[in-house]
Amino acid sequence: MSKLLAITPLDGRYRGKIAEIEEFVSEFALIKARVEIEIKYLIALSKIGVVRKLGNKEIKLLESLHKNFDIKDAEKVKLVESKINHDVKAVEIYLREILGKISLADLTEFIHFGLTSEDINNLAYRFMLKRTTQKVIIPTLNILISELSLISKKYASTPMLARTHGQPAVPTTVGKEIAVFASRLSPELKKLKRIQFTGKLNGAVGNYNALHFAYPKIDWIKFSKNFVSSFDFEFSLATTQINPSEDIIEFFQAIQRINGIILDLNQDFWRYISDGWFGLKSAKDEVGSSTMPQKINPIDFENSEGNLELANGLIEVFTRKLAVSRLQRDLSGSTILRNIGTVLGFCLLAYKNTSAGISKISVNE
């Protein structure tokens, strides 16, 4: 599809700037994560005797189904979904068809055995959040903090007039004021890294009903805890059908605080440019204004500010909605979670634009 036909600017105008997160938070990424969990669940069942013991070659063959999963495979899943109107069941049917054609046909009836869709989804979405954070968000923020630290050191002794209440106050230095933002971001980034995601695997209402009925001698709580812990997630013991979302809320509130700091930075840098303390270097062939050739506008900081406002607005919806699910489950939170890529896309775009703005700064010594 042409970018010109995209509904959102993230998939259109800005696609090139955030392309690296599509492998972690796209619809394809969600389907692939579901496939990975279903496969690993089947392998785990073999280890406790629910299905026959699998040889090393068979395990590698199963693992290859998610490791080599590509866009054509995802399209096959979507084709099944278009017929049955159920996304997780479509993954199950797709895997049954694949296994039915190879030496593992006898395992097909145990794909998704005893589980509900949320057993797969709660883990899949946390896969997406964790991997995007580790692979993209944290490295991007590290770069931003490093850029701020370098400028801070370079201009540590460059004097400027501080303002309180918008009025001339007493002297400060450029370096010190920039250091403030680096020192605010660093501890928040550490908090983001420490967030522990949770997981559950306990059936339709969180009571292991189908699993215990079929295999009452197996300790399903222990099995579930081991399975969830294998992904470095904290095990949720007491749940309804859904895994409580406090960990996801904590994650996005950490992102929101980081965004607030960068919003503050964008607005201050904009003002420093406006007041002449900072200048902007022009890029070759770049046009600053359609009618005023003398201008170089602080568009990177402005763009970042706007995208952070969008991200934080969506995060407000996340934090209000994800804490609530009627009785043992309702589906309204599901469509909210589908937008995690939108939130992180706006964040990534904003972080990159702030870095781009910083790279064009020249201090008017």
Residue 5 has a pLDDT of: 87
In 3D space, the residue among 225, 37, 39 whose CA is nearest the CA of residue 118 turns out to be 37
**Set 82, 157, 165, 290: catalytic member:** 165
What value does the CA radius of gyration of the chain take, rounded to a whole number of Å? 25
Q: 301 pLDDT band (50/70/90 cuts)?
A: very high
Q: 10 Å Cβ neighbour count for 353?
A: 24
Q: What is the pLDDT of residues 318-332, one digit of tens each?
A: 999 999 999 998 988
Share of the chain above pLDDT 70, in %: 100
Candidate from 2-11, 145-154, 250-259 with smallest mean pLDDT:
2-11
Q: 2 pLDDT band (50/70/90 cuts)?
A: confident
Q: 35 pLDDT band (50/70/90 cuts)?
A: very high
Residue 194 has a pLDDT of: 97
289 is catalytic: yes
Residue 282 has a pLDDT of: 80
Which single residue is written with the structure tokens 């590698």? Answer: 60
CA distance 209 to 337: 26
165 is catalytic: yes
Residue 291 has a pLDDT of: 87
**SS3 breakdown of the chain: % helix, strand, coil, rounded to 5?**
65, 5, 30
Find the distance separating the first CA and the last CA of the chain, reported in whole Å: 49
Are the CB atoms for 365 and 157 separated by under 8 Å? no
> Is the pLDDT confidence value at 283 over 80?
no
Question: Which residues 6+ apart lie within 8 Å of 183 measured at CB?
Answer: none
Q: What average pLDDT does the segment 14-22 reach?
A: 94
Q: What is the pLDDT of residues 346-359, one digit of tens each?
A: 999 999 999 999 99
Please calculate the CA angle 334-19-79 and round it to the nearest 5 degrees: 50
Please calculate the CA angle 64-60-115 and round it to the nearest 5 degrees: 75
Q: What is the pLDDT of residues 47-105, one digit of tens each?
A: 999 999 999 999 999 999 999 999 999 999 999 999 999 999 999 999 999 999 888 99
Residue 286 has a pLDDT of: 80
**Set 289, 332, 359, 362: catalytic member:** 289
280: enclosing H helix or E strand = strand 278-280
Q: What is the pLDDT of residues 205-223, one digit of tens each?
A: 999 999 999 999 999 999 9
Residue 299 has a pLDDT of: 94
